Amino acid sequence: MRHEKNPVLAVSPGPAAGVRGAIAANLRRTRLARGFSVRELAELTGVSKALISQVERGVANPTIEVLTRLADALGLTFAELTRVHLAGPEVIRRGEGTPVAVGDTVVRSLFAAPDRRRFELAEGDLPPHTRSARSAHGLGSVEHAYVVAGEVTVETADWSARLGEGDAIRFAAELDHVYVTGEAGCRVLTLLSFSED
């Protein structure tokens, strides 16, 4: 049984289809919700019926100009027309993914969003007596960290905060910062959100 409360939302048919599949589903669903036939949308946008049909079947690679005209005619933003929506949960099991060593720290990226609501969720394992690489993530970025196990100190030039198991912190990640462990190592989850600019 299908529920279509919001005509903009689409279900991605799978990773292989990616953005093209999302565009196809978003375009068709919104066109039908707005009551346009393919012919009417073609007349309104100057895009051929054949191309609109191909886009809706996910077999065309339309230009940005074509997508912008279609989005405008349907009252969507370009981001809404091209946004990929998950059909179901995406699960990453323990041990999956490729951990990356950054100095003595091992970081495993869990999830990242490439659209304008950009974020990255990662898990970091810091051994005892370790200073992570000093980093800053750009103007307007915010970092959230949650200590799963152990203890860690987050340091910037202006402040430092010592965190234990179960503690969390949020700070402006545009500042150079570093994670420092003492006698015990630390496992920390970080959620980094980037500015929309």
For residue range 151-196, list pLDDT tens digits in order: 999 999 999 999 999 999 989 888 899 999 999 899 999 988 877 6
CA–CA distance, 142 with 144 (Å, rounded to integer): 7
For the domain that residue 25 is a member of, what is the CATH number? 1.10.260.40
Specify whether 65 is located in the same domain as 127. Answer: no
Specify whether 109 is located in the same domain as 184. Answer: yes
For residue range 185-195, list pLDDT tens digits in order: 999 999 888 77
Cβ atoms of 137 and 192 closer than 8 Å: yes
Residue 90 falls inside a structural domain: no
Residue 131 falls inside a structural domain: yes
Decide if pLDDT at 147 tops 80: yes
Specify whether 134 is located in the same domain as 171. Answer: yes
Cβ-based neighbour number of residue 41 at 10 Å: 21
Specify whether 39 is located in the same domain as 110. Answer: no
Mark which of 53, 82, 111 sits at the end of a domain.
82
Specify whether 107 is located in the same domain as 76. Answer: no
Confidence of residue 129 (pLDDT cuts 50, 70, 90): very high
Residue 161 falls inside a structural domain: yes
Strands 100-102 and 105-113: antiparallel
* CA distances from residue 101 to 7, 124, 133 in whole angstroms, order as listed: 43, 10, 11
Residue 11 falls inside a structural domain: no
Specify whether 114 is located in the same domain as 185. Answer: yes
CA–CA distance, 56 with 46 (Å, rounded to integer): 16
Residue 89 falls inside a structural domain: no
pLDDT of residue 107: 76
For the domain that residue 128 is a member of, what is the CATH number? 2.60.120.10
CB-based contacts of 138: which residues, under 8 Å, 6+ apart? 173, 174, 194, 195
Cβ-based neighbour number of residue 190 at 10 Å: 18
Specify whether 159 is located in the same domain as 119. Answer: yes
pLDDT of residue 3: 33
Share of the chain above pLDDT 90, in %: 40
Specify whether 72 is located in the same domain as 116. Answer: no
Mark which of 28, 55, 82 sits at the end of a domain.
82
Range of the domain at 69: 18-82
pLDDT of residue 41: 94
Specify whether 36 is located in the same domain as 75. Answer: yes
Specify whether 106 is located in the same domain as 184. Answer: yes
Counted domains in the chain: 2
Residue 13 falls inside a structural domain: no
Residue 133 falls inside a structural domain: yes
Residue 75 falls inside a structural domain: yes
Beta strand segments in 49-177, E: 100-102, 105-113, 119-126, 142-150, 152-155, 160-163, 168-172
